[in-house]
Structure 1
């Protein structure tokens, strides 16, 4: 077999002649350096071969002179004609190869072949790439799951839009056309973005929602993104206030108009298609949507607050955690239940009693840990180091994951109890939340006076 480049006999002869002119220490150093070059070259070749295998080279699909067409997608969730594939949004991702990563939802058995139809600039030519269909592993037995549809972008092409089709041939006139986000680098506009998914079930826990958002702001959050399926009329008024304030951004999430959704996380053999209103797909979209504009992304629910115990806010906490844990991209915080069925008479604010929802300041008793039961976790992540996420952990990431000790921070989760039979004496009184009571009461009153009261 003929060896070329770094593996050719000619290269070795020349390297040894050159090294042989030096002192023996220099010879050894030179040979080691040469070996490093060879292994580096072989790793590069291996990576290129893997990339070529996963992503076949794009081919021109349109006749000469034909320009990109198709109808711009109008909705956050777009069904393809097969009704087995649902596109949320494409994102440019050059962390490994120059690819377009389309966040979507597919039927894990029925969808076996998809193609990206790229609209290339500046000539408007159409190029087609076969997609790698990567259904996320945390599907929890539902037939549909969050999916990455990944296509290698053509060389000498900066596509602005892409269409997804089951075939490499056909007419693009009727295909929905999606703008590829994250094409241009941006500077961070915020430090922390909270992703809440999904708001459904005519959500009406108004008081606790306002308290959570105001606590987020006290802790350093500038943006809260909500994937909203539906909520009460009163909750709509509150959301409108926060949108106008610039704190909340709403992503419409009408997933139940496409699939039979479950309010459970695990498949119950009940004919539903996807769990918890497509929560995992929404979380992944939120990560990519904020990849270039937020330093950190917080994945949690509206009734959960990551409470720092050693630091006054998230910025100082994360600065300390990053310093102690370099090259870490995922920080996991332990969830602790503060049952809403156990209350204290403190902070019984009369004006708040007329507002539907839970007053978290009155719930400062948490359930003890259960033997042989691991408390679930939620995360603060560096979005640029995450490829795929589930609800309580990431599935693929470039950086390390670290469990944050409970004496540094915990998740305050006020909800129905998990250990409902425990007497009050068995609960742990934890008033960490009260450190923020003055600021929180003032902020909540301001919002209520402008929205509800």
Structure 2
């Protein structure tokens, strides 16, 4: 008899543990084997046409593909940034066509829906597939089945395949520009502040904006500062302007902001030393350093191995203004003049100020809006006497009198450069 009849209690326990271990190892091995790429066809010519939309729906109607990225930080995988229905999408497969022999491999994916879904039925997902061991595929197709014809599947270029050295120090990711965005003056001021502080690239996931804003964006694109990623997510899903689900039939929060941020991290993983995740009305203002480069050098020296630096958000209400820097030529431009808003709301009792981040993209696996979900290395909260986020917007504490606000003119340190640079842009675009 197995684990024979009259053996001691101890022997029986050992036997049960051994059996359980064997079963577990067999199960894990079978699971591992089930995701290994399998050759299903040979001698094919790999097609060249690729899907070139930023958002590509699969025929299952519950999956949207944004972009695949090569990720070798843990193992050799293709990580596809996508959006899925968190319950209905059970299986997805990566189809790789490998040259020169035209072998088609199918690899079962691990679908990792990000935890920050905020109650919406659709959420950001990493669709992760092991790559064929003897091939470095340049393209991948995604399908809900391991069976079918690869020629009929959308085909995507796998980005980040070639190692690059970081070509820029700082890239700002802004997601998403929507609602016929027309805060032109504040946008230009933010852009010029970013440049003063050390940014070389601003990536904007654009859903909609005004014609005047289009003109300004065109200027920054031609200048080489802005990269526009079209973001027509409302063509595919019912989007909410709220960050949390309101039981209103919408599919995804805040125009798919979290998906765009994750795509931006991977898109800039090899080309930017740091990535800043904030909105267009937010500026990370250093208080002890002249710019981001010197600030980050100092923060990295103090926090070796840290990949995520969190900065506290502080509201400077656009309803409270000063007469200083009331520049008449700017009054015809739609939007807020941030130089006139230097009073910030005090901290609220028992309320934690939200944070935004400067990250080392190579150390981040998944991000949310105010924190990362998975990363290698530590996250550090930067003290407010080192830097804070200047966030000029409608007040959160609208009932506070002016005397209760904190006058903070840190922004004015940059006023002469900022005014000169903003004027240059305005005279070439708006005025």
TM-score (norm 2): 0.92
Could you tell me whether the CA contact under 8 Å between 1:330 and 1:382 is conserved in 2? Answer: yes
The reply to whether residue 151 of structure 1 matches residue 129 of structure 2 is yes
Deviation at 1:172, TM superposition (A): 1.5
Alignment correspondent of 2:296:
318
Alignment correspondent of 1:96:
74
Alignment correspondent of 1:442:
420
Which of residues 236, 252, 258 in structure 2 aligns to 1:280? Answer: 258
Deviation at 1:66, TM superposition (A): 2.0
Alignment correspondent of 1:347:
325
Q: Any idea what SS the aligned residue of 1:283 has?
A: helix
Alignment correspondent of 2:37:
58
Q: Distance in 2 between matches of 1:168 and 1:218?
A: 51
Alignment correspondent of 2:17:
none
The reply to whether residue 251 of structure 1 matches residue 238 of structure 2 is no
Q: Distance in 2 between matches of 1:173 and 1:52?
A: 28
The reply to whether residue 113 of structure 1 matches residue 91 of structure 2 is yes
Q: Any idea what SS the aligned residue of 1:91 has?
A: strand
Q: Any idea what SS the aligned residue of 1:347 has?
A: coil
Could you tell me whether the CA contact under 8 Å between 1:332 and 1:378 is conserved in 2? Answer: yes
Deviation at 1:74, TM superposition (A): 2.0
Deviation at 1:102, TM superposition (A): 0.1
Could you tell me whether the CA contact under 8 Å between 1:121 and 1:160 is conserved in 2? Answer: no
The more displaced of 393-402 and 69-78 is 69-78
Could you tell me whether the CA contact under 8 Å between 1:55 and 1:152 is conserved in 2? Answer: no
Alignment correspondent of 2:143:
165
Which of residues 206, 216, 226 in structure 1 aligns to 2:194? Answer: 216
Go from structure 1 to structure 2 and tell me whether the alpha carbon gap of 1:365 and 1:159 turns closer, same or farther (over 3 Å shift): same
Deviation at 1:399, TM superposition (A): 1.2
Q: Distance in 2 between matches of 1:224 and 1:318?
A: 18
Q: Any idea what SS the aligned residue of 2:61 has?
A: coil
Could you tell me whether the CA contact under 8 Å between 2:44 and 2:101 is conserved in 1? Answer: no
Could you tell me whether the CA contact under 8 Å between 1:67 and 1:126 is conserved in 2? Answer: no
Deviation per CA, 1:154-183: give whole Å up to 9, x if none. Answer: 111110000000111111222110000000
Q: Distance in 1 between matches of 2:152 and 2:213?
A: 38
Go from structure 1 to structure 2 and tell me whether the alpha carbon gap of 1:427 and 1:51 turns closer, same or farther (over 3 Å shift): farther
The reply to whether residue 327 of structure 1 matches residue 305 of structure 2 is yes
Q: Any idea what SS the aligned residue of 2:70 has?
A: strand
The reply to whether residue 268 of structure 1 matches residue 221 of structure 2 is no
Deviation at 1:67, TM superposition (A): 2.7
Q: CA RMSD in A?
A: 1.3
- Gap runs ≥5 in structure 1: 1-45
Alignment correspondent of 1:405:
383
- Gap runs ≥5 in structure 2: 1-24
TM-score (norm 1): 0.88
